[in-house]
Amino acid sequence: MKHGLNFLILMLGALSVSVQADEIYGTFNFTRLPPHAAVVYIPDQNAPERIAHVDQKNIEFTKTLDVGTAGTKVIFSNSDQHIHNLFASNYKSDTKFDVGLIPPGKEVQIPVTWPEDTLLRVGCNIHSNMRTYIANIQSSNFTLVDFVTNKKKKSRYDDGGYKRKKAAKKLKTSTGKYKFKLYDVSAAADTVNILLPHYDLIEIKLSKGESKSVPLMRRGKQKGELTVSRS
């Protein structure tokens, strides 16, 4: 009887948490070419650490964006047939590194030293079309939104000298609407953050039942609009 009562109390507690949890959903509506990706997240200084891990295959990164935490390291694997040379150079965050050549089958680890709530762009010195972004955030509830449309692009380099093909085109993104949703948002969390490459951090205070729209501004020009709602 006692065990049955304890089970009932646990079930009622779980139901209470489920009832109190909210959902946050929204839409990016770009009228100009968007960046490569975005991360939408609920900031939480008590969130556990997260290690980002990005691989390299077919002369491109396997992820457009990943999330790590300050004090951890980003793991970059090379599952490609080609040598890569990862680097980053961001004067705003005073973050710069060049890891040198990474042979196939090897990996490198980069410490997350750039400021919290910012993105770092990582590229390859050998293959200039390659790029990925690593976000430094404290959050256990986030979602990644990928704006890149031509994932199945052909290699831009020949096998002999990794030379750029003259007919190659830049990685394309398209205007349009991109939806996202965050589940199980604590009723105590009142802020949702959005990070996009080359944009300032967007912080939105949002109560249950509230909707807001904010312009997506880059260098003083509006590139679209973001709508966010909470239910």
Radius of gyration of the chain (CA): 21
pLDDT of residue 186: 95
pLDDT by 10s per residue, the chain, length 231:
545 555 545 554 554 444 578 999 999 999 999 999 999 999 999 999 999 999 999 999 999 999 999 999 999 999 999 999 999 999 888 899 999 999 999 999 999 999 999 999 999 999 999 999 999 999 999 999 999 854 444 333 333 333 333 333 344 456 789 999 999 999 999 999 999 999 999 999 999 999 999 999 999 999 999 999 999
Give residue for tokens 């929204």: 26
The H-assigned helical ranges of 29-112 are none
pLDDT of residue 92: 85
The percent of the chain in helix, strand and coil, each rounded to the nearest 5, is 10, 45, 45
pLDDT of residue 11: 54
pLDDT of residue 158: 34
3-state secondary structure of 11: helix
Q: Which domains does the chain have, with CATH numbers?
A: 22-230 (2.60.40.420)
Who's near 76: CB < 8 A, 6+ residues apart? 54, 55, 56, 86, 99, 102, 107, 108, 109, 110, 122
Q: CA-CA distance, 143 to 180, in Å (whole number)?
A: 7
Query: What Å distances lie between residue 1 and 7, 12, 13, CA to CA?
Result: 10, 17, 19
